[in-house]
Structure 1
Amino acid sequence: MKVLLVYAHPERTSVTHHLVELAAETLTARGHEIMRSDLYGMGWKAVFDGRDFPQRADPNRLSLIEESGHAFANGCQTRDVEEEQRKLLAADAVILLFPLWWYSMPAIMKGWVDRVWAYGLAYGYQGAGNAHRYGEGGFAGKRALLAVSVGGPEQDYSPRGINGPLEQLLFPITHGTLFFPGMQVLPTFAVYGAATIGAQGVAEAAAAWRGRVQRLFDDEPIAFRPQNGGSYPDRHVLADHVARGQTGLMAHVAGAVMLDGHNDSFPAAFVEPCYEDG
């Protein structure tokens, strides 16, 4: 299989880079082919703007959707975007590795998504508007996994933790960025306490991460409800008989747990905590 590692951290000795090297080593040893996108190392342009469209469909007004669709359909995207799309389309699995900065991915990785997820590929697939999304689309059949290093302790991100549940903070990425264009998204791998990690923590993290990487093509994906599987009759809102009485993010995950009358957490396997040191 071909696996694309996309990672964002400016420090080579970071937990993120350590996880990258462990993943590459483990996957290579199992016979898989590795592709890399080191966003800081590449000096990736994070801002999505008119410079992404050297041949404009409309030179008078910048519509990012229109220009993205025009550039993708006519082979006039910038070279860096085309190269990342080439790697994505060749990959059987994509692993995004990043530190949790202000409850999301670093801006450089968000900019990678903004520029590479072109209209006609990741959304507006086959010119059919929203007909193919959430389980279908240009990246259908590929596996996706997040490996997130979190500075704070695990309890801060627990179901009643002060920062909010990590799985809900990451929902725009797992359900939106990845599941929307068709990827099968695996439970997130999270390293807690990364800001104060010690040698024992590193060893525990390495062991847990190797196990997850080894099961990359075996673990069950998160049970996000597909748009065209019957749960959304109008492609917009859940049917009355689906997740009856539930609202919010968790209603869109089969098997989500109800706590105190509210769907507060994903199934236990949604986020696999690694360790907390310090």
Structure 2
Amino acid sequence: MNILIVLGHPDSGSFNHAIAEACKERLLENGHTVIFHDLHKETFDPILEKEEISRDGLADPVIKRHCEELLSSDGIIVIHPNWWGQPPAILKGWIDRVIRPGIAYKFEEGDSGEGVPVGLLKAKTGLVFNTSNTNAERENLLFKDPLETIWKNCIFDFCGVKQFDRRMFRIIVTSDLQQRKIWLEEVKEMMDQYFPKAVKEGIPEGKLFE
């Protein structure tokens, strides 16, 4: 399968990067093709200009490539920290520019855009890994876990990706190396659960595209 991984964190030494490496490693071991984007390393431009807003808007070659990769993906994995209950700005910009009308979703002919969208993505599974320094009780009771709503309802379900799972690792700032190793094993177990080895014997070598 083709699996798209999108990482949004500015620090190359972050636990978010460790999660991304764990995902890549296990997916390749399982024989999958991995398309990986570290948005900060690539200096992805998050600004959506007015010329690009409409379905037929002018998109530059970088965005066209991202859209093509999104459309070809059988699974999508997103990794980012919880910043103010939202993805970091660079990842929000990726959502704005890549999860486009006509690419990820559409409205029925004659619909003004007020109706129920039709998801266009062929991916069956969407996974999200988040990190946080807020405890679970405070997150759920006070903030209502907005990231769950954003990714599950507003993005993946909206675009036709019905199988969704998400893990929030906390509290990062006080976690030690042993705890982080345990978390990374959980990440690998999720790769095995949702993207298992294609065959039990003669597993093909995975491929990585960055």
Q: TM-score range by the shorter chain?
A: 0.7 to 0.9
Partner residue, 2:207: none
Residue in 1 that maps onto 2:29: 29
CA distance in 2, matches of 1:132, 1:122: 14
| Structure whose CA Rg is larger | 1
Counterparts in 2 of 1:169 and 1:113: CA distance versus 1, 3 Å:
closer
**Counterpart secondary structure, 2:40:** helix
Inter-partner Cα distance in structure 2 for 1:191 and 1:31 = 27
Matched, 1:69 2:49: no
Measured after TM superposition, the shift of residue 140 of structure 1 is: 4.0
Instruction: Judge conservation of contact 1:48–1:111 (CA < 8 Å) in 2.
Output: yes
Distance in 2 between residues matched to 1:69 and 1:97, nearest whole Å: 27
**1:1-278 aligned within 5 A:** 1-50=1-50, 53=52, 64=53, 68-71=54-57, 76-125=58-107, 127=109, 129=111, 133=117, 136-158=118-140, 160=141, 162-164=142-144, 166=145, 168-217=146-195
Question: Higher relative contact order at CA 8 Å, sep ≥6: structure 1 or structure 2?
Answer: 2
For 1:127 and 1:114, how far apart are their aligned partners in 2? 23
| 5+ long unaligned stretches in structure 2 | 197-210
**Percent of aligned positions that are identical:** 22
In structure 2, C-alpha distance between the alignment counterparts of 1:107 and 1:176, rounded to whole Å? 17
**What per-residue deviation string (whole Å, max 9, x for no partner) do you get for residues 9-51 of structure 1?**
011111100000000001100111110111101111111113x
Q: Residue 69 of structure 1 aligns to which amino acid in structure 2?
A: R
Give how far 1:200 is off: 1.6
- 8 Å Cα contact 1:140/1:184 also seen in 2: no
The two structures, once aligned, show a CA RMSD in angstroms of: 2.0
SS at match of 2:47: coil
Please identify, of 173-182 and 117-126, the stretch whose mean Cα deviation from structure 2 is larger: 117-126
Moved over 6 A (4+): none
Q: Partners in 2 of 1:96 and 1:147 — Cα distance?
A: 6
Secondary structure of the equivalent of 1:170? helix
**Paired residues of 1:7 and 1:20 also in contact (CA < 8 A):** yes
Q: CA deviation at 1:132?
A: 6.2
- Aligned counterparts of 2:166 and 2:193: Cα–Cα separation in 1: 13
Against the structure 1 CA distance between its residues 93 and 141, is the aligned structure 2 distance closer, same or farther, given a 3 Å change threshold? closer
- Partners of 2:76 and 2:182 in 1: CA distance: 23
Task: State the secondary structure of the residue aligned to 1:189.
Answer: strand
Contact 1:9 / 1:16 at 8 angstroms: preserved in 2? yes
- Provide the C-alpha distance between the structure 1 equivalents of 2:130 and 2:63, rounded to a whole number of angstroms: 24
Whichever residue aligns with residue 124 of structure 2, its letter is K
Distance in structure 2 (CA, Å) of the matches to 1:208 and 1:141 = 22
Distance 1:172 1:207 in 2: 26
**Shift in Å, 1:104:** 1.1
Change (3 A) 1:127 1:82: farther
Q: Which amino acid aligns with 1:182?
A: G
Contact 1:150 1:192 in 2 (8 A): yes
